[in-house]
């Protein structure tokens, strides 16, 4: 009886502590959001502070991070040297004025990607990520059309690795017609995360979608996002 009462007291104390801690976190989050949205300068320095922390974290764990600048184009191609695959990647920074000149922007992007090989892709970061494997078909001045994330789980599997790596894609990747999980996309993702990995064209991507369907991608296939759902595209050799 006594032990039961003591157990009940412990549970009551733990419940109270957790409840108060949750309220404190909620208030702290609300305060942060209020301060963040109150002034663009404050928002900039808060973002910069988080980026500095991420930078030091990436240096310590030896992985790459994307630029702090809001507007950039990323172009990469998978290259092979002495049986070793590596990413030849470049960043191009642009201004808001350049975005208004859609044809000029498309010309610059095509010129920068004209030497890419089969697995090249580029990525434009403005309000969202626009990702294409080979050709740029989006109208830069049009607002991105966000779609629902159709995947519950994505994992990278390689025969030389003892365990898989979960792939977590941010919401700004999920835009209609974006092309995800190509070989170049996967190589970049692995390079920009902290876990050790092996990469070659023998990898597999295991996916479970929101209908509990399981699919497997290889290096000769990728995902194209549709208005509702997705399609698997097989690369013609």
The token pair that represents 189 in the structure block = 């993702």
Q: What pLDDT score was predicted for residue 140? A: 63
**Pair 223, 179: CB distance under 8 Å:** yes
User: For each of the chain's 237 residues, which pLDDT tens digit applies?
Assistant: 556 666 666 666 666 655 554 555 455 556 666 666 778 888 888 888 889 989 999 999 999 999 988 888 888 888 877 677 888 888 878 776 665 555 455 545 554 445 444 455 666 666 678 888 766 656 666 778 899 999 999 999 999 999 999 999 999 899 999 999 999 999 999 999 999 999 999 999 999 999 999 999 999 999 999 999 999 999 886
Strand blocks (E) in 82-189: 84-93, 121-125, 129-132, 151-157, 165-166, 179-180
Q: What pLDDT score was predicted for residue 102? A: 54
Strand blocks (E) in the chain: 72-81, 84-93, 121-125, 129-132, 151-157, 165-166, 179-180, 204-209, 214-217, 221-225, 230-234
For residue 115, report the phi and psi dihedrals to the nearest 5 degrees: -95, 5
Residues, the chain, total?
Answer: 237
Site of tokens 């390689």: 158
Integer Cα distance of 234 and 237 in angstroms: 9
Q: What pLDDT score was predicted for residue 118? A: 45
The token pair that represents 56 in the structure block = 């030091």
Site of tokens 């507007």: 71
> Half-sphere exposure (CA, 13 Å, Cβ side) for 12?
6
Q: Hey, how many other C-beta atoms are within 10 angstroms of the C-beta on 234?
A: 10
């Amino acid at each position: 009886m006594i032990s039961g009462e003591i157990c009940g007291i412990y549970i009551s104390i733990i419940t109270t502590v957790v409840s108060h801690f949750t309220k404190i976190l909620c208030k702290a989050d609300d305060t942060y959001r209020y301060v963040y949205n109150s002034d663009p300068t404050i928002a900039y320095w808060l973002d910069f502070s988080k980026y500095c922390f991420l930078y030091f974290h990436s240096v310590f764990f030896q992985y790459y991070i994307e630029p702090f600048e809001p507007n950039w184009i990323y172009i990469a191609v998978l290259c092979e040297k002495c049986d070793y695959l590596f990413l030849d990647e470049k960043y191009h920074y642009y201004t808001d004025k350049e975005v208004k000149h859609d044809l000029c922007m498309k010309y610059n992007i095509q010129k920068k990607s004209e030497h890419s090989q089969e697995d090249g892709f580029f990525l434009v970061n403005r309000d969202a990520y626009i990702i294409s494997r080979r050709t740029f078909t989006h109208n830069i001045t049009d607002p991105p059309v966000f779609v629902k994330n159709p995947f519950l789980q994505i994992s990278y599997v390689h025969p030389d690795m003892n365990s898989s790596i979960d792939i977590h894609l941010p919401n700004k990747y999920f835009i209609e017609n974006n092309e995800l999980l190509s070989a170049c996309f996967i190589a970049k993702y692995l390079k920009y995360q902290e876990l050790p990995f092996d990469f070659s064209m023998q990898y597999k991507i295991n996916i479970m979608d929101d209908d509990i369907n399981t699919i497997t991608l290889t290096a000769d296939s990728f995902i194209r996002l549709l208005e509702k759902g997705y399609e698997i595209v097989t690369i013609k050799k």
